Structure 1
Amino acid sequence: MSVIGFDIGNENCVIAVVKQRGVDVLLNDESKRETPAVVCFRGEAAVPWGQQDPEVQNELKLLPFETSEGKDGGILIHLKYLGEARTFTPVQILAMLFSNLKDITEKNLEIPVTDCVIGVPSYFTDLQRRAYLDAATIAGLKPLRLMHDCAATALSYGIYKTDFSKTGPTYVAFVDIGHCDTQVSIVSFEAGHMRLLSHAFDSSLGGRDFDDVLFVYFAKQFKELYNIDVYSNLRASIRLRTACEKLKKVLSANAEAPLNIECLMDEKDVKGFIKREEFERLASGLLERISVPSRKAMADAGLSVRKIHSVELVGSGSRIPAISKLLSSLYGKEPSRKLNSSECVARGCALQCAMLSPVFRVREYEVQDAFPFSIGFSLDGAQISTGSNSILFPKGQPFPSTKVLTFQRSNLLHVEAFYANPNELPAGVSTKISSFTIGPFQASSNEKARIKVKVQLNLHGIVTVESAMLVEDHIDDSARRG
């Protein structure tokens, strides 16, 4: 049996496996270490349209297919498959992607694969986490844990290091600038132990936003010079975005770069040119946003920048020199790029899978993650007080974690879990999590039954009601007679 780590990126996926001599990244059918996070259907692409949520609308504009709103309020994806119009849910599409990754893994290892750990952004909601688990299960996988991306990166960084201070914790900041998001975590390392102190994020700021700066710049330029409107042509827009992404990488190593595309639109060849200085000026607003989650992570961890031993910079959007310069100014030290920016999450997930698997032996190493949101509970619409407030699992709570609630009821219990602080969530996310109906309970007397309910924030970061039991108050004979 093998233990697998999956990093499901917005653009690409990486598969890692723990073997006797370490962690290997598997090659796909094209002998590449990264597999596109794409499910292909033969047929014509449609123009996207969809839901009213601004974040959803922004995403749908970038996708070459039609969508609609399902009966449950979710998204339905309309595609042509084998000559017929079909409708799929995002979970079904994600399950197809997992199935492909599972096939790649089994071809490499030549054995069946089930156990895995999957990397997810720390800002994922309960609903998104459940969707990942459902999709993986449909694909025949058994996720042992959904692991936060920065936690996986920190594990792949810390488990092999032997030079941590023996007089106290070593604090490291992990900055992950992915294709569509930015995540920052502060981690405390000691011998045989790592503890996540804080998570912060911008769920709508990543490398593609810097690509978009170049896209808008050249789209305007080509309108003026060639009288073509790339916004009106989906194929031209995709080609220009692809060229801008490559141009961004060239600017990472050069002070200036040209852009040339043959037959972009209306059979016209186009040429452009930009200096890195101009690119950084155009992206100044994005660069300012990069510092926000870093400052927030530091504040939530209760640390000053002087306490930070090193800053580890990863992710596909991390190669922009201006970002390194910004982080150097913020933390007072040059960010390190010693980790493989595209593989560290998958490697950390594979290591965690080995630790959780009952059939694999690895060195003793404790991973203690923290949950980024506050979770409260309500009973019949009224918030449940737990001490001085209604928060059952506070922000920064280590998890998995279990709490026991006690109620006195003579009928059914209707309990709801919710995110207690909307300001902690990504924009537009509902505060509702789950609702649970417990009972009915019948006490031995006419009085209300006393019920103990065990609530868990589990290893996946999902809220569950583990059990509910009736507690009988036993009164001995002497008490009765007295």
Structure 2
Amino acid sequence: MDGASDNNAPAIGIDLGTTYSCVAVWKHDRIEIIPNDQGNRTTPTCVAFADAERLIGDGAKNQAAMDPASSIFDAKRLIGRRFSDAKVQENMKLWPFKVIEGPDDTPKIVVSYKGEEKEFLAEEISSMILVKMKEIAEVYLGTPVKNAVITVPAYFNDSQRQATKDAGTIAGLNVMRMIKEPTAAAIAYGLDNKSSISGKISELFRFKQLRKKINVLVFDLGGGTFDVSILTIEEGKTFAVKAVAGDTHLGGRDFDNRMVDHCVWEFKRKWNKDLTGNKRALGRLRFACEKAKRILSWSTQASIELDALHDGIDFCMKFSRAKFEELNMDFFKKCIETVEACLKDAKMKKSCVNKVLLVGGSTRIPKVQCMLQELFGRKVCKSLNPDEAVAYGAAVMAAKLSGNTHKSCRDLVLLDVTPLSLGIQTKGEVFSVVVPRNTPIPTKKSKIYETTCDDQSSASIKVYQGERARSTDNHLLGKYTLCDLPPAPKGDSKFNVFFEIDANGILTVTSEIISTGKTQKLTITKEHGRLSKEEIEDMVEDAKKYKEEDQEFIKKAKALRALDDCIYDMKKKMKNMEKGDKLKKMENAIAETTKWIEGNKDASFDKVQGWKEYLESISVQEF
């Protein structure tokens, strides 16, 4: 559903990131970033499957280094993609967890959970993260949450956007709209900039006179995706996207991989031993490299020290910022080239860009900031929190769509563009563009095509997205057959192909035979990277089932903690007791309980509670 909802129902904004996710809400006439149960304002986009439990967020990330094969991350790099995708195949060599080919070329993640081998689609893993963000918001607001705006990379294709929306549905959310991450960040900047000067008359006058209309370039370099967007912001309320560019497979995770590869090479050079087959060692090393990368953003040197990394050998090395920059310089240069391409698409000179906004944790890298400053000849804007800006903007849009009457929400106007060209395959595998990239959306465009042979009775419509001249070099979104073309000489029978893109960037393709008026619509199925309604419904049920399991696990964990506290309290009392039957009875009760706990790890909450009540009764009897 796209549009307004119940005014009284809270609507949240979720930044579903590759490495970290963030949730925000409009409350008390402002946006509030919601902390998780650990007090952190961002939550690791990680799901871990242990023997008896499923961990999401901080707990999962902490386990990843110890049990990497059962800790799933980077689901965003799989979502909406095919198993045969070159990027998927490339990443599979780096991931410690197993990915297999499912039906119709869909990638499936395989983990061992509760003694069984389980298979999950990327949508399911992402839905687990979204459930976690939903629950974080519900605890904070004290009320159920149904409505949400979810952000996606600007350069996500239609399949990736739809798969993300499916993940929201599986999580039990009504996805009111999906907006692009850089656009959400620009909304955050526009509102923040407006409010920060509203109390200063002289600056307000200057803003109105000189900054009534400003051009903003959003440089969004996150954990797994990279986007550049150029927008024009008018009076802090109208946001018009002029051009987008980027790479859905470039980010901090790639910088980590280069560091890991270098450490593996160093280990082999020094000890003549290969780490690549040791998944646990690689998991620990990856964790240490990510930490070192963060340190190198404020220090010129970081140490990586890991005891007994492989075959009992300790690993220790100094990593300099210069070495980190050398290893990743090709990535950094690619970022700058993308910025230049985006400027060209927007037909805008560098001098016309008033602000360069940094979004995403990887923009903290000094070399990235330095290269941008050299390109534009001025300092970049660091007023936004790069980890929270996207969720902030999404929450503003969520408030607007839910009917919030505050002026900042009510006046917000978002004019977006399609990130990639859309069209169909014509004879000779030629890609015929119907909707050029960077076309403002929502939009509806059409093109007339004709038959290519005599008495042609049908036409195969293959819809692609991309910028290559050969259709097969682009991304296939879907295909269908237009039937019942009237018999006629080649070229005489014509049909119109309509491309309609809604505010979410979701595409509908309709073909109409001009002489008869008969129409045929594109139906996206699992074959084209989408989930069927039945599959989504099944996953919604699975999500509910996992939620109940998680709640039961938390309930039992609290009971075990209470039982342990009870044992502890009894032992304290026993220290002041004289030897005798009473003391012996308590010692036996504690020993009996401890033995039961060790042999009954999977016991139910009721049984744990029963043992606690038994101990308490013994304790009361003796005092």
Normalising by the residue count of structure 1, what TM-score does the alignment of the two structures yield? 0.85
The answer to which of 244-253 and 458-467 deviates more is: 458-467
The question of whether the paired residues in 2 share the 8 Å contact of 1:164 and 1:190 is answered with no
**Aligned twin of 1:38:** 46
CA shift, 1:12, in A, is 1.2
The question of whether the paired residues in 1 share the 8 Å contact of 2:457 and 2:485 is answered with yes
SS, match of residue 146 in structure 1: strand
SS, match of residue 14 in structure 1: strand
The question of whether the paired residues in 2 share the 8 Å contact of 1:450 and 1:472 is answered with no
The question of whether the paired residues in 2 share the 8 Å contact of 1:213 and 1:283 is answered with yes
**Aligned twin of 1:144:** 176
| Matches for 1:28-427 after TM superposition, within 5 Å | 28-43=36-51, 51-162=83-194, 163=207, 165-166=209-210, 169-191=213-235, 192-358=237-403, 361=406, 362-377=409-424, 390-403=432-445, 415-419=461-465, 421-422=467-468
**Aligned twin of 2:502:** 458
| Matching residue's letter, 1:372 | P
**Change in 2 beyond 3 A, CA 1:401/1:252:** same
Higher CA-based Rg: 2
The question of whether the paired residues in 2 share the 8 Å contact of 1:174 and 1:186 is answered with yes
CA shift, 1:196, in A, is 1.0
**Aligned twin of 1:15:** 23
The answer to which of 279-288 and 188-197 deviates more is: 279-288
Q: Which has the higher helix share?
A: 2
| Matching residue's letter, 1:101 | M
CA shift, 1:271, in A, is 1.6
CA shift, 1:452, in A, is 7.9
**Change in 2 beyond 3 A, CA 1:186/1:240:** same
CA shift, 1:304, in A, is 1.1
In 1, Cα distance between equivalents of 2:124 and 2:183: 27
**Aligned twin of 2:593:** none
- CA deviations on 1:331-368 (whole Å, 9 max, x unpaired) are 11111211010011111111111222246653302111
| Matching residue's letter, 2:136 | I
In 2, Cα distance between equivalents of 1:422 and 1:364: 39
- CA deviations on 1:381-408 (whole Å, 9 max, x unpaired) are 569x9xxx94322111111112366899
The question of whether the paired residues in 1 share the 8 Å contact of 2:157 and 2:465 is answered with no
In 1, Cα distance between equivalents of 2:159 and 2:374: 37
- CA deviations on 1:113-135 (whole Å, 9 max, x unpaired) are 12111110111111111111112
**Aligned twin of 2:61:** none
**Aligned twin of 1:24:** 32
Give the RMSD, CA atoms, in angstroms. 3.4
**Change in 2 beyond 3 A, CA 1:39/1:211:** closer
Unaligned stretches of 5+ residues in structure 2: 1-8, 52-66, 73-81, 195-206, 487-491, 518-623
The question of whether the paired residues in 1 share the 8 Å contact of 2:69 and 2:279 is answered with no
SS, match of residue 105 in structure 2: coil
Alignment equivalent of 1:2, drawn from 4, 10, 21 = 10
The question of whether the paired residues in 2 share the 8 Å contact of 1:172 and 1:187 is answered with yes
In 1, Cα distance between equivalents of 2:483 and 2:394: 38
- CA deviations on 1:162-206 (whole Å, 9 max, x unpaired) are 426557631111111111222111111111312111111133321
- CA deviations on 1:41-61 (whole Å, 9 max, x unpaired) are 22476599x955431122223
| Matching residue's letter, 1:462 | I
Unaligned stretches of 5+ residues in structure 1: 443-447, 474-482
The question of whether the paired residues in 1 share the 8 Å contact of 2:482 and 2:511 is answered with no
Q: Which has the higher strand share?
A: 1
In 1, Cα distance between equivalents of 2:450 and 2:249: 44
SS, match of residue 334 in structure 1: coil
CA shift, 1:96, in A, is 2.3
The question of whether the paired residues in 1 share the 8 Å contact of 2:34 and 2:140 is answered with yes
**Change in 2 beyond 3 A, CA 1:450/1:265:** closer
SS, match of residue 172 in structure 1: strand
In 2, Cα distance between equivalents of 1:341 and 1:56: 27
In 2, Cα distance between equivalents of 1:171 and 1:23: 24
Query: What percent identity do the matched residue pairs reach?
Result: 31
**Change in 2 beyond 3 A, CA 1:452/1:395:** closer
SS, match of residue 348 in structure 2: coil
